[in-house]
Amino acid sequence: MLIFTLRKLNLFLFTMLLLTVLSFSLSFLFPGDQLTNLTGQLNITPSEQTALAKEYSHESNIAWQYAAYLGHILNGELGLSMTNQTNITDEILRLLPATIELSLFAFVIATVIGIPLGFIAAIRHHKPADHVILAFAMIGYSIPVFWLGLLAILTFSIQLGWLPSGGQISLLYEIERTTGFMLVDILLSDSPYKWQALQNNFAHMILPALVIAAAPATVFIRLARTAMLEVLQTSYIKAARAKGLSFSQIILRHAIRNALIKVVQHIGLQFANLVTLAMITEVIFNWPGIGRWLIESIYQRDYTAIQSGLLVLSSFIFFVHIITDYTYAALNPLARGAKYGSR
């Protein structure tokens, strides 16, 4: 496990280095002054401009400029927003927890719905239940997320009035910010209306989370179905049948765990897709997350915010990949010896 950890740490450092190189190169590709794109500082005096150029090694070669940029990132200095001159690091720390909270909630929904349905489809292979679940998966995967979001608002918010159409929590509840995660902050608050606030937050989260979870859930259905069908064809399952175990015993004791190992292997890849869907959904549901902030930055051509937002989101997705790999290695010891590109 030590060698596996060292390999992952090496991959993590190398990937982070590449991400910072990509982010740094964007300052040259965006229109305008490269130093302004990096720092986001506008309307500064000539003396401030000189100090800033020295701070970022602007007069040195490209390697020293990159080293200075990397040093600022390691110190948590991502510059200022070109739109409103706010500190980008503070903005990201304020908005990122809302995106993580919504993405994790959607991920749980997609997993809880998708994997069991995939197993049921495999167990009922070539039966009506299998065809119905596959049809549901195909339809769910084909629906564009923006159309599904608007349809959900029209149906459940406007016509039926069951759920809120936007926001994170009603303005009636004043929750003090402690961690940035609304659910945690509500539980930590001293508000006498804590449980009502918790219900209200859940009500605001259900629709966007379901919309985000739709596409990953359909992918999990197909992954789980394929994995279970492969497991049911293996020799140890046939041996278990020969021993006289009932079909339910074979499924519960042997098939589900081994099929789950194959599904977990692909979960990290789907998380990147889920975060992309979350960015679009945050705009539709006015969710105060980093995805909506990043898309607004693109509209406003806030180049400093775009660089920093892409860097932070990419790092977050890669961090989830690392956790998924560890989970897969914990479930399947053979994976700890696998080389990159061998699976």
309 in any annotated domain: no
318 in any annotated domain: no
Whether residues 160 and 242 share a domain: the answer is yes
Residue 250: give the domain boundaries: 95-301
pTM of the entire predicted model: 0.85
Whether residues 237 and 278 share a domain: the answer is yes
Amino acid at 36: T
88 in any annotated domain: no
Between the two ends of the chain, the Cα-to-Cα distance in Å is: 18
Domain finish residue from 75, 103, 133: 75
331 in any annotated domain: no
Whether residues 137 and 220 share a domain: the answer is yes
- Show the low-confidence residues of the chain (pLDDT under 50): 341-343
Q: What 3-state class would DSSP assign to 341?
A: coil
332 in any annotated domain: no
Whether residues 114 and 246 share a domain: the answer is yes
Of 57, 90, 84, residue with least CA distance to 71:
57
Alpha-carbon distance 335 to 343, whole Å? Answer: 9
Q: What 3-state class would DSSP assign to 87?
A: strand
Whether residues 35 and 99 share a domain: the answer is no
325 in any annotated domain: no
Please report, for the domain that includes residue 227, its CATH number. Answer: 1.10.3720.10
Whether residues 59 and 111 share a domain: the answer is no
- Residue 343: the pLDDT is 47
- Residue 120: the pLDDT is 92
- Residue 54: the pLDDT is 87
- Residue 338: the pLDDT is 57
248 in any annotated domain: yes
Whether residues 64 and 169 share a domain: the answer is no
- Residue 48: the pLDDT is 83
Whether residues 225 and 119 share a domain: the answer is yes
- Residue 152: the pLDDT is 92
Alpha-carbon distance 149 to 290, whole Å? Answer: 18
Q: What 3-state class would DSSP assign to 80?
A: strand
Whether residues 171 and 289 share a domain: the answer is yes
Whether residues 34 and 133 share a domain: the answer is no
Specify the number of domains making up the chain. Answer: 2
103 in any annotated domain: yes
- Residue 337: the pLDDT is 60
pLDDT in tens, 311-337: 888 888 888 888 887 777 777 776 666
Whether residues 143 and 278 share a domain: the answer is yes
Token pair belonging to 58? 């602007």
- Residue 151: the pLDDT is 92
Alpha helices in 190-289 (DSSP H): 194-232, 235-242, 247-250, 256-284
**What burial letters (b/e) apply to 324-343, b meaning 16+ CB within 10 Å?**
bbbebbeebeebbeeeeeee
Whether residues 171 and 36 share a domain: the answer is no
